[in-house]
Structure 1
Amino acid sequence: MHIRSKPWARPELEACGFFQANPLEHRGQWQQVFKNNHPLHMEVGCGKGTFMAELGSQNPCINYLTIDLIDGVLGWANRNIQTVYAKKDQPIDNIQLMSWDIERIDMLLAPEDGVERIYINFCNPWPLRKHQKKRLTHPKQLRKYQALLSKNGEIHFKTDSDALFEDSIAYFKESGFTIKTLIPDLHASDYPGNIETEHEKMYAAQGIKIKFLIAAL
């Protein structure tokens, strides 16, 4: 997906109290950034932040690392998070927003950070075989998540892609995860508390089934 340049994004991010301009400084010490011992969750590829805005505001006693690579996208995430928290009159003290390449996530966090849950929502399906190692659910990437997840840690994964979903089920099993929840049509299910992303709303409106799973160590 091509993202047009957003000249306003970087200045707004640098003025944002929950944006980390130098996240590598906190590897292994993320709980000190939040100044509490609340559980640590992470969203990789946050997009415009509508999912995290709702998730974070609904769970003030969970700390969230919210990651994407593109400043323009993170700029919208910053705005959306601030808007939702302001409507609920909540301080934004449980989210840290940052720009980082997910393929190098092991440089950003250490095992002692104790991530309990990772959210992967509507990542690039990379359909061509020669590109599939770039998938955020490929075993190459899952090994990096495994090193960061705490005991019984979980990955929550949603996608519109049938091929990516089927392949990812195999990836998780191959990598030693247990599939705890497997829902081929999330919106037709009774799964509680689903928070829709902007992509999810778009795909569902087109009649595309939303696939969802939870994989645990």
Structure 2
Amino acid sequence: MRQRNKPWAKDKLVQYPQYVISEPEKNKGKWKEAFDKDQPIHIEIGTGKGRFITGMAKANPDINYIGIELADSVIVTALDRIIEDELPNIKLLNVNANDLRDYFEKGEVNRVYLNFSDPWPKKRHAKRRLTYRSFLEIYEEILVDKGEIHFKTDNQGLFESSLMSFSDYDILLTYVSLDLHNSDYEGNIMTEYEEKFSSRGSRIFRCEVQYR
């Protein structure tokens, strides 16, 4: 989906350093100090407009969250949500997920969320998928031992290829749902895309995996 350009977005992001970390590499190894409380850190890659991560932060005040989104015209909406709700346990990074190793030390992150990532359906673009092996290597480098990835998508092809990617990497599959909204899973917080796709009758696929 094409996003409307907001030329003022970058300026607004700079105005809220308490929420938007402009130089995250300076926090590498020190992320616990960036939050009011020393708590486990969960990150969402591709946080979009922030509905999921703000919902999670409100539901789980004992967790610190970091939302990562490259598009400044999108992440500024997530910032608006945080400002409105005055959430102390969220930070935002307007950066590329390829560079996560520049921002986090080994063991700084407890969980990674991947929600409705770009499916990159063409075979030649497989390496761009956030569940491709090269990304799994990055996550493993920043996660705690036996750290987790929680993944949701409406795209069956991406879900199937991701399960294969997890299996090839020898990551333990601990939960899988082929129809999340008709399952017994409790505590689901929807993203903007999830609400849109599910309202059209699309199935939502979800899994949880853990590094060994």
- Report which stretch shifted further, 142-151 or 2-11: 2-11
Q: Distance in 2 between matches of 1:123 and 1:68?
A: 11
Contact 1:52 1:81 in 2 (8 A): no
Runs of at least 4 residues of structure 1 off by over 3 A?
A: none
Q: Distance in 2 between matches of 1:75 and 1:36?
A: 24
Q: Which residue of 1 aligns with 2:87?
A: 92
Q: Distance in 2 between matches of 1:137 and 1:128?
A: 15
- Report which stretch shifted further, 119-128 or 6-15: 6-15
Give the counterpart letter for 1:210 in structure 2.
Answer: I
TM-score by length of 1: 0.93
Give the counterpart letter for 1:119 in structure 2.
Answer: Y
Give the counterpart letter for 1:158 in structure 2.
Answer: K
* Residue 129 (structure 1) aligned to one of 118, 123, 126: 123
* Residue 187 (structure 2) aligned to one of 190, 193, 196: 193
1:187, distance to aligned residue in structure 2 (A):
0.4
Give the counterpart letter for 1:156 in structure 2.
Answer: H
Question: For each residue in 1:169-213, what CA deviation from the matched residue of structure 2 results, as whole angstroms up to 9, or x when unmatched?
Answer: 111111121000000000010100000000000100111100000
Aligned-residue CA RMSD (Å): 1.2
Secondary structure of the equivalent of 2:37? coil
5 Å-filtered alignment, 1:1-217, equals 1-16=1-16, 17-83=18-84, 85=85, 91-113=86-108, 115-217=109-211
Secondary structure of the equivalent of 1:176? coil
Secondary structure of the equivalent of 2:163? helix
Note the residue ranges of structure 2 that are not aligned, 5 or more in a row: none
**Equivalences, count:** 210
Q: Distance in 2 between matches of 1:37 and 1:80?
A: 23
1:8, distance to aligned residue in structure 2 (A):
2.8
1:27, distance to aligned residue in structure 2 (A):
1.1
- Report which stretch shifted further, 32-41 or 19-28: 32-41
Contact 2:174 2:209 in 1 (8 A): yes
Note the residue ranges of structure 1 that are not aligned, 5 or more in a row: 86-90
TM-score by length of 2: 0.95
Q: Distance in 1 between matches of 2:54 and 2:37?
A: 20
Secondary structure of the equivalent of 2:39? coil
Give the counterpart letter for 1:26 in structure 2.
Answer: N
Contact 1:26 1:33 in 2 (8 A): yes
The percent of aligned pairs where both chains have the same amino acid is: 36
Contact 2:173 2:208 in 1 (8 A): yes
1:112, distance to aligned residue in structure 2 (A):
4.1
Question: For each residue in 1:122-180, what CA deviation from the matched residue of structure 2 results, as whole angstroms up to 9, or x when unmatched?
Answer: 00000000001000000111011011111221100000110100010111111121000
Q: Distance in 1 between matches of 2:136 and 2:146?
A: 15
1:35, distance to aligned residue in structure 2 (A):
4.5
